[in-house]
Structure 1
Amino acid sequence: MGYDIERFVGYVNEGLLCCVCRDVLEDPLQAPCEHAFCSSCIHGWLVHHHNCPEDRQPLEGALLRPLFRYMRNDLSRLQIRCRNREQGCGMVCSLESVDRHERECEYGLVACTNAGCPIQVERRSLEAHVAACEFRSRECPHGCGYTMLTCEDSQHSCVAELRTELELLRSEMICKVEEVRHEMESRLDSQRRHMVQKESLLKSEVEELKGQLSRVMSDVRALLGAERLHRQELEQAELEKRELLELLKSLQREGRSHTPSPAPPPGSAPEGLRKTGGARGLTLDCIKRKSREVTVI
């Protein structure tokens, strides 16, 4: 809606009137056919119509443009009375500055700043009203710290208010304790589950290590048994070697103690001598072979 034409001082050009509400333009827009409208009026019209309300030519919201500059200048220079003139304001100012004046006008109605108060008073009387308003809050004069409204003075009891405050504090404390308890129980349950899982994992690892240790001990015992057997075999072989060496030395000493006689022609040696020499040679060969076997072992 536009500005009421009755508020203006002097003549108002008809071209500055809205084609819909017939009041002076407010937030004006212009159609391609050069008819001007209040912004709210033309948008409300286009919800149900698709033409200009003045000449019925097709019109869409996207075709609307700002008012010509010269028309905006003429509009801003118009002299208008304050809307609070019925309350006593006699201010007359240009249209471009009327909004600023009305936001600060001492005769303008404003709501009381006390919560719950439904009264609107003139801005110039607001301070006095707030000081005397029955919804004005203040602290108890007896020192209980309760903030109360002026209308509650006769009904206020410090003991009752303190008891109510204490009950509220107790309820809040109980709620907080329950929240902390639930939170701690939840954390403990989580830690308990984690410890059980970790304990199970550690038990599995310990069992696996026990199995590995058992296998290693079995292998070690087998190796120790094999080493002991091998050592016994070496000791036995060393003993046999020493015995054979002693036997060999004794045979060599025995052989050196006998003076050899001239060798008889082949085929003419006595039978007994041939038997003795053959047996001794066989014995020496056996001893040497045995000695080599022992050395190899």
Structure 2
Amino acid sequence: MGYDIERFVGYVNEGLLCCICRDVLEDPLQAPCEHAFCTACIHGWLVHHSNCPEDRQVLDMSVLRPLYRYMKNDLNRLQLHCKNSEHGCEMVCSLESIDRHERECEYGQISCSNAGCPVQIERRNLDGHLTVCEYRSRECPNGCGYTILRVEDAQHNCVAELRTELELLRSEMICRVEEAKHEMESRLDSQRRHMVQKESLLQNEIEELKSQMSRMMSDVRSLMAAERQHRQELEQADLEKRELMELLKGLQKDCRLNNTEGNKKSANFRPLTRLESVKRKPREVTVI
């Protein structure tokens, strides 16, 4: 439904009226045939019809569009009275700002904020009503601290109310303890699973390190054995070297002695004649 045309000040263009309800357009939509409607009106119409209510051309929701900008501007500039004018509000404002005014209008009818109170009252009188509303809450005058409504005064029992509140608190506490217990158990289970996984990973790492250590020890033993063998070979080579050096020295000494004796024999040597050598040769053979 649109805005009641009687609320408007001055002339309202025919093009700004809804083709269905004939009131001033509210939240307008426009058909391709340029007829305009209130959104609520055209939605209700298209539930049972499939054409424009003005010229009967085929129409569905998918082709409806917002109002042309110049028409929207003309619509927003229209001046109208507040809907609470019959209660005393004299405000006249543009259609563009009327909703904001009516949400805050002092003459607007609102419900009492006290639970259970059926009174509808003007916003400007709400504070006065709350001070005398029989549904207003107040603290028990007997000192139990319980908040009561005036209509419940005759039925209020401090001891019973406190017991009820105590039972509620106890139930709430039990629920909270159970929730905390379940949460702690869930966290402990999660941490336990995490620790088991961590322990398994650490155990695997330890086994891997042990394996690496074993291989390293085996390599070290092999290197030490190779070093001992190498040292023995060096000692053997050194011993053989010394023996060779001693042998070499002995040979050099023998050579020097042989050279000395050879020199002496050379000094006493006289060349034999051919005849003498021939004569001596058989005798040497006979001796052999």
Q: What TM-score results when the alignment is normalised by the length of structure 2?
A: 0.66
Shift in Å at residue 169 of structure 1? 3.2
* Residue of structure 2 in register with 1:117 after alignment: 116
Shift in Å at residue 121 of structure 1? 1.6
| Structure 2 SS opposite 1:256 | helix
What fraction of aligned residue pairs are identical, expressed as a percent? 34
Distance 1:240 1:99 in 2: 125
Shift in Å at residue 262 of structure 1? 0.9
| Structure 2 SS opposite 1:110 | strand
Distance 2:82 2:259 in 1: 162
| Residues 254 and 23 (structure 1), Cα distance of their counterparts in 2 relative to 1, 3 Å cut | closer
Shift in Å at residue 195 of structure 1? 2.6
- Stretches of structure 1 that go unaligned for 5 or more consecutive residues are 275-297
| Residues 30 and 161 (structure 1), Cα distance of their counterparts in 2 relative to 1, 3 Å cut | closer
* Residue of structure 2 in register with 1:290 after alignment: none
| Residues 263 and 207 (structure 1), Cα distance of their counterparts in 2 relative to 1, 3 Å cut | farther
Distance 1:263 1:118 in 2: 167
1:207 aligns with 2:211: yes
| Residues 92 and 136 (structure 1), Cα distance of their counterparts in 2 relative to 1, 3 Å cut | closer
Aligned pairs, number: 267
Shift in Å at residue 26 of structure 1? 3.6
* Residue of structure 1 in register with 2:55 after alignment: 55
Contact kept, 8 Å, 1:29 with 1:66, in 2: the verdict is no
| Structure 1 SS opposite 2:78 | helix
Contact kept, 8 Å, 1:111 with 1:119, in 2: the verdict is yes
| Residues 214 and 73 (structure 1), Cα distance of their counterparts in 2 relative to 1, 3 Å cut | closer
User: Aligned partner of 2:130: which letter?
Assistant: V
* Residue of structure 2 in register with 1:76 after alignment: 78
Shift in Å at residue 152 of structure 1? 5.7
Distance 1:148 1:42 in 2: 50
Distance 1:162 1:73 in 2: 61
> Structure 1 residues 203-212 or 62-71, which shifts more?
62-71
- Stretches of structure 2 that go unaligned for 5 or more consecutive residues are none
**CA deviation map 1:139-169 (0-9, x unaligned):** 6667776656555661443354245325423
| Structure 2 SS opposite 1:82 | coil
Distance 1:244 1:71 in 2: 129
* Residue of structure 1 in register with 2:222 after alignment: 218
Paired residues for 1:24-35 under 5 Å? 24-27=24-27
User: Aligned partner of 1:20: which letter?
Assistant: I
| Residues 84 and 251 (structure 1), Cα distance of their counterparts in 2 relative to 1, 3 Å cut | same
Contact kept, 8 Å, 1:146 with 1:161, in 2: the verdict is no
* Residue of structure 2 in register with 1:293 after alignment: none
1:187 aligns with 2:194: no
User: Aligned partner of 1:41: which letter?
Assistant: C
**CA deviation map 1:52-100 (0-9, x unaligned):** 32333455644674497599479924x6573573xx4474746737545
| Residues 38 and 32 (structure 1), Cα distance of their counterparts in 2 relative to 1, 3 Å cut | same
1:249 aligns with 2:253: yes
Q: What TM-score results when the alignment is normalised by the length of structure 1?
A: 0.64
Paired residues for 1:95-244 under 5 Å? 96=95, 99=99, 102-114=102-114, 116-117=115-116, 119-122=118-121, 123-133=123-133, 136-137=136-137, 154-156=156-158, 157-158=161-162, 160-162=164-166, 164-243=168-247
**CA deviation map 1:188-224 (0-9, x unaligned):** 4313321321222222222233123213312421331
| Residues 209 and 50 (structure 1), Cα distance of their counterparts in 2 relative to 1, 3 Å cut | same
